[in-house]
Amino acid sequence: MAAGKRLDLRNVFAPHHTCNGIMRRLVLRLLRRVRAWSAGPNLCMAFAGDAAPCSELPDGYALATAPISDAAWAQLLSAGGELGPWDALRLHTEMALLVPETQVFLTGVDAQPVACAGVYERDPESWEIGWIAVHPEHRRRGLGEAVTGLALQRAVELLPRAILLYTQDHRLGAIRLYLRLGFEPALRHRSHRRRWRAISKSLPREVAAHVVSSLQVN
C-alpha cells in the first residue's frame, strides 16, 4: 500500500459477497471495541438527588403489566446496536444481577416492549441503573427519560446506596437526559475528568457550566 494512504475496508471486503460482508462487519466491530478500550472505561454518573423526579409516560405508551418474554427483551436490547448483540446466555447472565421487582418495560399499542431499564447490583455499595434501551422506531418521544426515571424511582426505594449509571462519551443526548434526572459526573477513572471537560464543550452553556462545576467538587 502506498505511503500515506489509509486502509479502506470497502476495498478489502467486497460488500456484495456474503462471506466477505460478514468478515467486514466482524472487523469493524473489533475496531470499535479497540477504540473504546483505548479511550478508557465507560463514563460513570451518580444520582445527586434525594428523591427521583416524577416520570410521565408519553401518550400511546404504558407500563407493562404482563410478563415480557426473554426473546422480546433480548431483541429490544439488540435493536439499537449500542448495547451489542444479545442472546439468551447473555440475558440470563445479566438477570442474575438484576434486583428483584426493579425491571421496567414500556409497551406500545401492540403490547410489545419498546423501552426498558432496571436496577442491578454489581457491588455491595451501589445500585446501578442499567441496560437502558429504547427501540429505534420509538426514539425522540420521551421514552428514555420515562423509563430511566421509573427505574430510578425503584432504586431510591431500596436500601440507601449510591445510585450509578454508565454511558459513553458520544451519547450526548443520553448524557443530557441523565443530567436532567439529577445525575452528575462521577470520576471513577483517571481519564474521566479530561473526557468530561471535552464533553462539556458540546453541551448547552448552562448544562456545561454545571458539569464543570461538579468536576471541581469531585
Task: Return the pLDDT at 161.
Answer: 97
Task: Return the pLDDT at 27.
Answer: 65
Task: Return the pLDDT at 154.
Answer: 97
For residues 96 and 90, give the distance between their C-alpha atoms in angstroms, rounded to a whole number.
Answer: 10
Task: Return the pLDDT at 78.
Answer: 97
For residues 208 and 205, give the distance between their C-alpha atoms in angstroms, rounded to a whole number.
Answer: 5
Inter-residue contact 64 to 106 (CB < 8 Å)? yes
- pLDDT tens over the chain, length 218 residues: 445 555 554 454 444 555 676 777 666 656 555 454 445 799 999 999 888 888 889 999 999 999 999 999 999 999 999 999 999 999 999 999 999 999 999 999 999 999 999 999 999 999 999 999 999 999 999 999 999 999 999 999 999 999 999 999 999 999 999 999 999 999 999 999 999 999 999 999 999 999 999 998 76
For residues 151 and 129, give the distance between their C-alpha atoms in angstroms, rounded to a whole number.
Answer: 7
**Which grid coordinates are listed for 135?**
427501540
Q: What DSSP character marks residue 98?
A: B
Which of 92, 107, 97 is CA-nearest to residue 129?
A: 97
Q: What one-letter code names the amino acid at 21?
A: G
Kindly list the distances between the CA atom of residue 193 and the CA atoms of 34, 35, 150, 160, in Å, as whole numbers in the listed order: 21, 19, 29, 26
Q: Which of the four CATH numbers 3.40.630.30, 3.30.360.10, 1.10.1530.10, 3.30.1330.80 does domain 43-217 have?
A: 3.40.630.30
Task: Return the pLDDT at 15.
Answer: 47
Task: Return the pLDDT at 38.
Answer: 47
**Which grid coordinates are listed for 121?**
447490583
pTM: 0.80
Task: Return the pLDDT at 131.
Answer: 97
For residues 101 and 56, give the distance between their C-alpha atoms in angstroms, rounded to a whole number.
Answer: 20
Q: Where are the domains of the chain?
A: 43-217
- Three-class HEC string of 180-206: HCCEEEECCCCCHHHHHHHHHCCCCHH
